[in-house]
Chain A
Amino acid sequence: MINIIRKIAPWISIICLVVIIGYSILVFRGVQSKETYIMWTNIATVVWFVFSPFWLIKGNKKEQA
């Protein structure tokens, strides 16, 4: 299970960044409300901090190796 999480963690983290910036672009273009953007930014932030340590912290990567 943990190995699967480590494999998908980088992709989930990248998706989080895309969600944060993507929603702000939608607000900028007037397509989306600011409230929705803030909600998704908060969600993406939580998910980012759950998954990014699996691949961004060096020690964790070593364990994987």
Chain B
Amino acid sequence: MAQSKTSLTSRLDALFEFDREPVTEDKLHGPGKFIGLFAGEHVAATEFVIGPMFVIHGVAALDLFLGLLVGNLLAVLSWAFLVAPIAVRTRLTLYWYLRKICGPGVTFIYNIANAFLYCVLAGAMISVSSTAIGLAFKTPTPALTDVLPNSISWVVITLIVGGVVTMFAILGFDKVSKFSSVCSPWLFAIFIAGALALLPSLGQINSLSDFWHIAQTKIWNGVPTAGQEKYTFWHIAFFAWFANLAMHVGLSDMAVLRFAKNWKYGFYSAFGMFPGHFLAWVCSGIMVAAVAREMNPGAMAFTAAGFAGAVAVVIAGWTTSNPTMYRAGLALQVVTPNWSRWRITLIAGVVTTIVACFPVVFMRLLDFVALYGLLLMPVGAVVFAEHWLFPKLGLVQYRAEKFKMFINWPSLITWIGTLVIVFLLPIHMFFKWLPGYFIALVLYISLSYFSARKQPAKA
């Protein structure tokens, strides 16, 4: 048992060996790098789905604009005040910091959970791409409420798209990631152009008040599509805030912000949030309203920008799913010793492609995004408590590292316990994470306090 733990620990460490040491002063980056990174990362295939979903869920125009403003502002503040300060103080990735705090056992579980979530996310992106490819073959797009595939041709197209994406991920992740940097500015232009070109089909606009009238009556008119739940200001604000919860509150963007010169660089996330999670969502919302609220990203983009629009959906899906699949493969590598990278990526690709065949993953994307953040949020709370609150409360930091623990039980119990409690809370999925975060903080501090008292010799 002890030997298998050591073997698991060494396999995990070997995977992340390249970023084991804290970033040194000479490797820090300037503002331009962060602006580009955030701006590029947050204009992706998901934006073709999220904006339209708000329309379908019957959000009112004022609720949408105010909700996006408040939610994105809170997201930027979370990057600036939660991730960035810890990242620049430690100069470590979340993996290595988590290992110090929770032990290799918990980092292992974290990796597996992440791998599974990455596969589902990449699967959703492949589904989005399939809607565009399907246009050429007149494949019926699944309905909003579909869980299972609705036709053989949908499955065949999704399998082919998934196969191609997997092949490119195997052949060279690096090249695709370089290619995606070329796509971002153009993709953003397609969002804006598509919305502007389709606006006249909703009514004549000669002034801002004309636009507002159309926005209130034809786009975000407050009436959900039949069978869909109605969203309010709070749903939008919370969604915009938690859309990247794993990255900010969950602290996984420590990997990026550890290269920042100071914590204020967290504010540069605004360059990703406001163009991507504000403007692009508004633009795709306008587009879906102009195509009679049909949830078909491929057809919607084709109507808005022709062949270039359909290509935008395919490329956005491909460039988003590719790194996600790569990360899933990396995370899975810990359970498959001595397997080559291509084989792991192939397994991740097969899982992802099978997931992509089920339309529920992209038709329920908003719920999945909420679930994704929720599942990883307690880990962020544990790290926050250990980093900031333990010294103030006189608790010993980094006990897992100091006492060579395989699992820091208070952290694992906090993670599982918080999730059980929040799933029992009788509130909407979008709102569960916030009370959950405070529950995790209190739970971890309490459990760590009692754990330290129980083992005074070690402490």
A-B contact pairs, 28 of them (CB 8 A): A13-B185, A16-B186, A17-B185, A17-B186, A20-B186, A21-B193, A21-B196, A24-B192, A24-B194, A24-B196, A25-B196, A28-B200, A37-B193, A37-B197, A38-B307, A41-B193, A41-B305, A42-B306, A42-B307, A44-B308, A45-B186, A45-B311, A48-B186, A52-B182, A53-B179, A57-B179, A58-B181, A59-B178
In the assembled complex, A12 has its CB within 8 A of some CB on chain B: no
Q: Assess the A27–B182 pair: CB atoms within 8 A.
A: no
In the assembled complex, A49 has its CB within 8 A of some CB on chain B: yes
In the assembled complex, B300 has its CB within 8 A of some CB on chain A: no
In the assembled complex, B226 has its CB within 8 A of some CB on chain A: no
Please give me the residue from chain B that is nearest to A45 by CB atom: B308
In the assembled complex, B1 has its CB within 8 A of some CB on chain A: no
Complex CA gap A16/B187 in Å reads 12
Interface magnitude class on chain B: 20 to 34
Binary A-proximity of B164-179 (CB < 8 A = 1, otherwise 0):
0000000000000011
Residues on A with C-beta less than 8 A from B196 are 21, 24-25, 27-28
In the assembled complex, A34 has its CB within 8 A of some CB on chain B: yes
Question: Taking chain A's interface residues, is the majority helix, strand, or loop, or is none over half, making it mixed?
Answer: helix
Q: Assess the B200–A24 pair: CB atoms within 8 A.
A: no
Binary B-proximity of A39-65 (CB < 8 A = 1, otherwise 0):
101101100110011001111000000
Q: Assess the B178–A57 pair: CB atoms within 8 A.
A: yes
Instruction: Give A contacts to B, CB under 8 Å.
Output: 13, 16-17, 20-21, 23-25, 27-28, 30, 34, 37-39, 41-42, 44-45, 48-49, 52-53, 56-59
Other than A34-B197, A42-B306, A52-B186, give 17 A-B pairs with Cβ distance below 8 A: A16-B186, A17-B189, A20-B190, A21-B196, A25-B196, A27-B197, A38-B305, A38-B306, A39-B306, A41-B190, A41-B305, A41-B308, A45-B186, A45-B308, A49-B182, A58-B178, A59-B178
Complex CA gap A53/B181 in Å reads 9
Complex CA gap A23/B193 in Å reads 8
In the assembled complex, B205 has its CB within 8 A of some CB on chain A: yes
In the assembled complex, B199 has its CB within 8 A of some CB on chain A: yes
Shortest C-beta distance, B60 to chain A (Å), equals 24
Complex CA gap A47/B179 in Å reads 15
Shortest C-beta distance, B108 to chain A (Å), equals 33
Shortest C-beta distance, A33 to chain B (Å), equals 10
